[in-house]
Amino acid sequence: MIAALNRGDRHHRWAVDVIESQRRLGAHLVVPEAVAGEAYTKLRYDRRVSGRHDARPALTVFSLLAADSKLFEMRSMPSESYKRSIELLARYVDQTFSWVDAIVLLSADDDRGVERLWTVDSTLSAYRFSHQVVVSSSGN
């Protein structure tokens, strides 16, 4: 069972359903380090999650990512990530990709084993992967 951090978040139920379905399937969810860092910052400073900027909810998520290696696989940054992310952002200048989005896209594109990208950001489907990757967002 996944702990509820913010049941009021519009993506909460979708995210819990995805995580639980992947756990039932015995599938790995690859989490780029940059995403874990962004999640920590979001949780750490979101008043709905951590009143008075309490770090414990964010640290709980970090602990879950580290403890459940059967479900979550933490990934390092792709090679030459800074240079490549700038190139990607310049190529998709008409999109609203963040730098972390670019890292996620590069990580998925580099790994031929990645078949699905779970995201709350439907704009990531604009990226053209070098292999078949289905982008599943909470809006789909």
Give the C-alpha separation, 64 to 42, whole Å.
16
Distance of CA 120 to the CA centre of its chain: 8
Average of pLDDT values for 1-27? Answer: 75
CA torsion 27-30-16-96 (nearest 10°) is -140
124 class by beta-carbon count within 10 Å (0-12 exposed, 13-18 middle, 19+ buried): buried
- pLDDT score of 46: 78
More confident residue, 5 or 74: 74
- pLDDT score of 2: 45
Do residues 135 and 124 lie in contact, with contact meaning Cβ atoms separated by under 8 Å? yes
Q: What is the pLDDT of residues 28-61, one digit of tens each?
A: 888 898 988 888 888 888 777 777 778 887 888 7
* 69-83, 91-105, 123-137, range with the lowest pLDDT: 69-83
Percent of the chain with pLDDT over 70: 91
Does pLDDT of 88 surpass 90? yes
Structure tokens at 69: 């290696």
Structure tokens at 17: 């359903």
| 77 closest CA partner among 37, 29, 22 | 37
The dihedrals phi and psi of 118, each to the nearest 5 degrees, come to -95, 125
Does pLDDT of 16 surpass 70? yes
Domain limits, the chain: 1-76, 80-140
- pLDDT score of 139: 64
Residues in the chain, total: 140
Q: 10 Å Cβ neighbour count for 4?
A: 11
